[in-house]
Amino acid sequence: MTTAQREPIDQHFLDAVADMAGRSPAGGADTTGVERLLDLFDAQASSRHLDLAARYLRASGDAFYTIGSAGHEGNAAIANALRPTDPALLHYRSGAFYLARAAQVPGTDGIRDVLLGLVAAADEPIAGGRHKVFGHPDLAVIPQTSTIASHLPRSVGVAFAIERAGKLGVPSEWERDAITVCSFGDASANHSTAVGAINTACQITFQGLRLPLLFVCEDNGFGISVRSPRGWIAAAYGDRAGLRYFAADGRDVLATLAVATRAADWVRTKRRPAFLHVSTVRFMAHAGSDAEISYRTPSEIAADYDRDPLQRTAQLLIDHGVLDAAGVLTRYDAIRERVGEVADEVTRLPKLTAAAAVMQPLLAAHAARVAASATTAAHQEERERVFEGRLPEDEGPLTLAMAINRSLADQLTRRPEMLVFGEDVGRKGGVYGVTQRLLTRFGAGRVFDTLLDEQSILGMALGSGLSGLLPVPEIQYLAYFHNAADQIRGEAATLQFFSTGRYRNPMVVRIAGYAYQKGFGGHFHNDNSVAALRDIPGLVVASPSRPDDAAAMMRTCLAAAEVDGAVCVFLEPIALYHNRDLHCAGDGEWLAAYPAPDRWLESHVPLGRARVYGDGGDATLLTFGNGLYLSLRVAKQLAVKGIRVRVVDLRWLAPLPVEDILREATATGRTLVVDETRRTGSVSEQIVTVLLDAGYTGTVARVTSRDSFIPLGDAALTVLLDEDTIAWAVQDLLDNKRTEDGIHG
């Protein structure tokens, strides 16, 4: 396959090398790294031709991605400065890095890998046709789809996990002395995600902890059309406490190799982070759809051609007598021919054509194996040691907070790879005491406080799970999660999808949420917005209300993370943490005993299974969270009036217990969805849709909280769902009336 018309940078390279004909090798030239020049040139030229191929394949309708690496080919030297076993999270312009690394690992073909991604072929080695990414398990290249540096927090987590796994003596995906490399652009270095991740790395090392991480900023001076202020990257990162700074001219591959080697050796030896600032140039605009001429003059664009790193490498080959000009052109054109041949082949390969095939990485679920893992405990002697002779099953009835605490301790005892961390979870034991004594029992290597940055907390979890650990990070309040939602939506939940399951980041994210918290509030501490979680494909969302369910569901989530690589969010109702009573003071009906391990199988809570209270035939109340507490109270009040209802605790917001919903709704034919979240974007919308889609012919209504943020004090009660509204709605349902509002009467 050939281009109908050569790109200007391609023609300029050919002309420039032709002009080098007759040039003699430069005497006395520095020969450091010369033995690698041919390999580096091959990676650089291959990357260039792949960028050219992306353009003509897109023009013919055969490819779907044209963001290229032209001008950034100096990053091939960075790959050569590292080991192919060092985990790499690559910028989308790090094509030459990927090709150079592929050349280091026998049996891999970087050119074919990239072309398969460009045409979205189903047998592409990492994403399987789902996206064009740089990734390969045999190359330790972790696929990233980030365009805004959202992979930087994960890179901090990977580097952290290398050291932490070694300290704990648990298996890791990486070699004991590996270092992590993470590349990104100069424009995205300004994104809050990048700034936060680099700050976290600096703070970690400032505290004397080890973090073998090499940040690589590929600085071409542009963010699409926006120019980066000249000198900004060096000014921002050249003198940061806890961060060693290196600078290299990415247009000179040997100079870059020398600096990158020093930087990599420093990180590997010191086990501390470094920042490698590589000056580059960008050719052929941001992408094929970007009209560069709209923001740069033709003369400015043409002037950059003489800064071409490929041209500089050709000159080095000639200066060192490795090749003459004709040899360079012959090699360059041979690579062009190979890229064209492979491009012709891959365009004819099968694509993903069915939804089931596309979604396959999201559907991995092994219920029997999850159940087996969830119901297995540590040895009794070890449990007795950890719990200091007083096992949780012998304590008597527990609150919700206590049950979560005991389940975390039980699982930390059983799972040496498990970590619990977040703001205040260590010495303080959590704002609500949920993690009390875990630090004392398991040590700071496994239970620890983090800095106040939700993106970094989740990034730590992303990298740890990817590296063989089992992280349980805490986001202190649901409202704080929204600051970092992309770490779950764009990073955690997509990894298995974009790696066809070859990479995964198992985790259980604990979040204190929902409303009804008394004496302490405002919308940051009383947040009932869960819509941002429910539409993330593959994400497990657990919503326990009662102590016994919470303990069992925590075991299930950890098992699903271990077995299936599940990303789980564990929503804990703040208002119910320390609740003891249900109907009246002293009744103790919100407490529950903690079962001994020999009863874990019978109390196992599978993913997507509800819990039913009562068998009343008048109406079915479908609810969750605080709604369960409210609904059970209303059910007793209605029973006094002769109205018998059954209450169904969904327990799981994703996957929803559809089978249980349909069965219990059909049993009465009159269904009320009791949803404490906001009316718009609420869980109730999905539940009603589930009923209608299934052909449910009974009556259905819903009651929710108002579409409002939650104010301080008693004003909160004006917008939150209450018992009177639930009772009124049940009566209305039985009277077969329709409400006009359905929220508050």
Q: Determine contact, residues 99/35, Cβ cutoff 8 Å.
A: no
How far is 471 from 448, CA to CA, in rounded Å? 11
Residue with tokens 């299934």: 694
| Structure tokens given for 207 | 């505290």
- Please choose, from the candidates 455, 80, 431, the residue with its C-alpha nearest in 3D space to the C-alpha of residue 256: 80
Max distance between CA atoms of the chain, in angstroms, equals: 103
| Structure tokens given for 219 | 């600085």
| Structure tokens given for 636 | 């007793």
- Please choose, from the candidates 709, 539, 511, the residue with its C-alpha nearest in 3D space to the C-alpha of residue 608: 539
DSSP code of 490? I
How far is 419 from 507, CA to CA, in rounded Å? 10
Residue type, 518: K
Q: Determine contact, residues 242/203, Cβ cutoff 8 Å.
A: yes
How far is 661 from 652, CA to CA, in rounded Å? 11
The dihedrals phi and psi of 247, each to the nearest 5 degrees, come to: -130, 140
CA angle 397/399/403 to nearest 5° reads: 85
SS3 621: strand
Q: Determine contact, residues 541/529, Cβ cutoff 8 Å.
A: no
| Structure tokens given for 665 | 């709704």
Beta bridge partners of 398: 592
How far is 212 from 77, CA to CA, in rounded Å? 19
How far is 699 from 499, CA to CA, in rounded Å? 44
CA distances 335 to 4, 46, 79, 562, 627, Å, are 18, 6, 20, 44, 65
How far is 663 from 352, CA to CA, in rounded Å? 36
Residue type, 62: D
Residue type, 473: P
DSSP 546-589: SHHHHHHHHHHHHHHHHHH--EEEEEEEGGGTT---SSSTT--T
CA distances 565 to 36, 471, 493, 552, Å, are 40, 11, 10, 18
CA distances 700 to 235, 637, 676, 737, Å, are 62, 21, 17, 11
Residues 6+ apart with CB under 8 A from 220: 71, 72, 93, 185, 186, 280, 281, 282
Q: Residues with catalytic annotation?
A: 525
How far is 530 from 513, CA to CA, in rounded Å? 9
| Structure tokens given for 516 | 């009804």
CA distances 742 to 245, 255, 674, Å, are 60, 70, 11
CA distances 601 to 195, 373, 458, Å, are 46, 10, 31
Beta bridge partners of 705: 678
Residue with tokens 């290196």: 246
How far is 546 from 623, CA to CA, in rounded Å? 13
Residue with tokens 């990977």: 158
Q: Determine contact, residues 645/635, Cβ cutoff 8 Å.
A: yes
- CA R_g for the chain: 29
How far is 276 from 526, CA to CA, in rounded Å? 43
